[in-house]
Amino acid sequence: MTDGHGQADDGIEPDGGEATTEDPSTEMAIQTDVSESVNDSDYTREAGTLVEARDVSVYYNDDRALNDITMDIPENRVTAMIGPSGCGKSTFLRCINRMNDMIDAARVEGDLLLRGKNVYDDDVDPVALRRRVGMVFQKPNPFPKSIYDNVAYGLEIQGADGDYDEIVEESLKRAALWDEVKDQLDESGLDLSGGQQQRLCIARAIAPDPEVILMDEPASALDPVATSKIEDLIDDLAEEYTVVIVTHNMQQAARISDKTAVFLTGGELVEFDDTDKIFENPDSERVEDYITGKFG
């Protein structure tokens, strides 16, 4: 994000310190698991849809950042959100796991349903929700802890059951990092390369076994080789998870996503469709102009 709401390097303090919207320790605080209540279905929905936005608007104080967004995000697919800077992509992403709750000025209107349950209902615990909706940020933000502890940390503070060694190994494998780090699990996560750190953060997001993984420009701080690994990984992840990714890179959206949502100035969702359709034959002239680089 480029609008002054900060990167995680000033907020990641697993043993204390101020929480930010990009601080994974915030998401992982010990809470009673109310995931059952999130699963209760109050709504009918289209088969294959995991996340539904219904007339979602977001305001920061009096300024509207998102304008009546309605869209269905399919399960086990990669959905990309593209659009010019400031059009509300990150704001929308943060609606899905209620990270906007941490921004005092933010107010969300409308319904945001996960498996048919409005995540903004009073009986939904945002921290339990964030175990089901993991998040990976633009800049890799591992904890200043060992590789092992980076992945196990969230499990520990949640008091999660299970064999942590097994979960750590499995998460690192799913994040395509295991082979590179299996002999150095006790070494600091901060000593890894940027691309490895980002895959470590993905392993950390996977460890609690979420249903959705939100990614906010996960490769924009990485070199082309590391970016390519992350893109391959995203493709693999979609076999098990629903991935929603914000990217500034249109080629990346075209390469990795099944669906693309185009947000334009004013926080408007102008078109949402199969990625091929958006890039080859969009309905909206404004989308065509954006895709072809006429503005934005």
Asked if 5 interacts with ligand ATP (CB under 6 A), we say yes
User: Would you say 141 or 158 has its CB closer to ligand ATP?
Assistant: 141
User: Would you say 65 or 269 has its CB closer to ligand ATP?
Assistant: 65
Instruction: Select from 187, 236, 209, 212 the least CA-distant residue to 96.
Output: 212
Fill in the DSSP letter of residue 129. H
Asked if 59 interacts with ligand ATP (CB under 6 A), we say no
Strands of the sheet with 106-114, listed across from one edge: 63-74, 49-60, 106-114, 117-118
Number of residues that bind ligand ATP (CB under 6 A): 16
Largest Cα separation within the chain, whole Å, is: 54
Compute the least distance from the CB of residue 192 to ligand ATP, in Å. 25
Query: What is the CA 185 to chain-centroid distance, rounded?
Result: 25
Three-state secondary-structure class, residue 244: strand
User: Would you say 34 or 102 has its CB closer to ligand ATP?
Assistant: 102
User: Would you say 1 or 8 has its CB closer to ligand ATP?
Assistant: 1
Three-state secondary-structure class, residue 26: helix
CA distance 23 to 182: 26
User: Would you say 38 or 87 has its CB closer to ligand ATP?
Assistant: 87
E strands, 22-167, where? Answer: 49-60, 63-74, 78-82, 106-114, 117-118, 133-136
- For helices 194-206 and 224-237, give the axis angle rounded to 10 degrees: 20
Asked if 2 interacts with ligand ATP (CB under 6 A), we say yes
Compute the least distance from the CB of residue 11 to ligand ATP, in Å. 13
Q: Which residue in the set 8, 12, 50, 65 belongs to the binding site for ligand ATP (CB under 6 A)?
A: 65
Q: Which residue in the set 49, 59, 60, 273 belongs to the binding site for ligand ATP (CB under 6 A)?
A: 60
Asked if 90 interacts with ligand ATP (CB under 6 A), we say yes
Sites for ligand ATP among residues 102-141 (CB under 6 A): 103, 105
Quickly list DSSP for 214-278: EEESTTTTS-HHHHHHHHHHHHHHTTTSEEEEE-S-HHHHHHH-SEEEEEETTTEEEEEEEHHHH
Asked if 80 interacts with ligand ATP (CB under 6 A), we say no
Q: Which residue in the set 25, 26, 91, 158 belongs to the binding site for ligand ATP (CB under 6 A)?
A: 91
* 8 A C-beta contact, residue 12 and residue 23: yes
Phi, psi of 257 (to 5 degrees): -105, 155
User: Would you say 88 or 218 has its CB closer to ligand ATP?
Assistant: 88
Q: Which residue in the set 20, 27, 56, 88 belongs to the binding site for ligand ATP (CB under 6 A)?
A: 88
Asked if 99 interacts with ligand ATP (CB under 6 A), we say no
Q: Which residue in the set 8, 53, 80, 87 belongs to the binding site for ligand ATP (CB under 6 A)?
A: 87
Q: Which residue in the set 39, 41, 70, 85 belongs to the binding site for ligand ATP (CB under 6 A)?
A: 85
Length of the chain: 296
Of 87-95, 167-175, 177-185, 206-214, which part binds ligand ATP (CB under 6 A)?
87-95
- The CB density around residue 138, as the number of other CB atoms within 10 Å, is 22
Binding site for ligand ATP (CB under 6 A): 1-3, 5, 60, 65, 83, 85-91, 103, 105
